[in-house]
Structure 1
């Protein structure tokens, strides 16, 4: 018995790019989502006062925020003004600079801002910066 070769049409080689496109979109989505979390969002959104001499801080370890109502936050956690100095002291690590940035809404009274600044200055070795918008 002799076998006959069956004439099958030759199928050309193909590269299916649909799975590759899916992988590329998944990687792109990952990078977009991860860059959203790389921004500095230490403080809460407040209406900052403007200053021409504003300079960015390189090392920020604590952010104190005073909103319109005068509510005090330390790194987005509400806090009583009496406990602020102790809470900031707990953030201090030996050998590292402790920079505390004060984000105060422009409508907060001067009295309240000075009281918060006084609490921060009670922490030995803490450097204080006041957040402003550049004019």
Structure 2
């Protein structure tokens, strides 16, 4: 019995599955990095602003005002009368701190102003208002 001569075809590397796997991994990393935005405060509906700028600083204190008027200092509930002392306990004299005010867009203007007024009494801080 004679076997037909098989012409030797050269070996080939099929890279299409490898490209598919690489694109799947790339898509995973792109989508996962979209969820890595850093939010220091509690979730509130921030107002939008066209001229908002990103503030980068190592020493950040976050004050959050929720829609019902509740105030939080670094995610801990605090009363307005205790806010100044609470921030002063976190501030050290060696470098300035940035206090970011996360106020819900439905909070009354008077409540935001009263919190800002208390924060301005603290020495050694800079005040910023968070927007989207």
* Match for residue 44 of structure 1 among 29, 42, 45: 42
CA shift, 1:95, in A, is 1.5
CA shift, 1:61, in A, is 1.5
Query: How far apart, CA to CA, are the structure 2 residues paired with 1:42 and 1:80?
Result: 19
Query: How far apart, CA to CA, are the structure 2 residues paired with 1:89 and 1:78?
Result: 16
CA shift, 1:41, in A, is 2.9
Indicate if the aligned counterparts of 2:93 and 2:124 stay in contact, CA closer than 8 A: no
Query: How far apart, CA to CA, are the structure 2 residues paired with 1:94 and 1:127?
Result: 13
**Counterparts of residues 25-44 of structure 1 (less than 5 Å):** 40-44=38-42
Query: What's the counterpart of residue 18 of structure 1?
Result: none
In structure 2, the CA distance between the partners of 1:115 and 1:54, relative to structure 1 (3 Å rule), is same
CA shift, 1:124, in A, is 1.1
* Match for residue 56 of structure 1 among 29, 48, 54: 54
CA shift, 1:125, in A, is 1.8
Gaps of 5+ in 1: 1-34
Ranges of 4+ aligned residues in structure 1 off by more than 4 Å: none
- Matched residue of 2:95: which SS? coil
| More displaced 10-residue stretch of structure 1: 59-68 or 111-120 | 59-68
Give the TM-score taking structure 2 as reference length: 0.69
Residue 116 (str. 1) matches residue 115 (str. 2): yes
**Counterparts of residues 1-135 of structure 1 (less than 5 Å):** 40-59=38-57, 60-133=59-132
Query: How far apart, CA to CA, are the structure 1 residues paired with 2:116 and 2:76?
Result: 18
| Equivalenced residues, count | 97
- Matched residue of 1:103: which SS? strand
- Deviation per CA, 1:70-126: give whole Å up to 9, x if none: 100000000000000111011112221111000000000000000000010000121
Give the TM-score taking structure 1 as reference length: 0.68
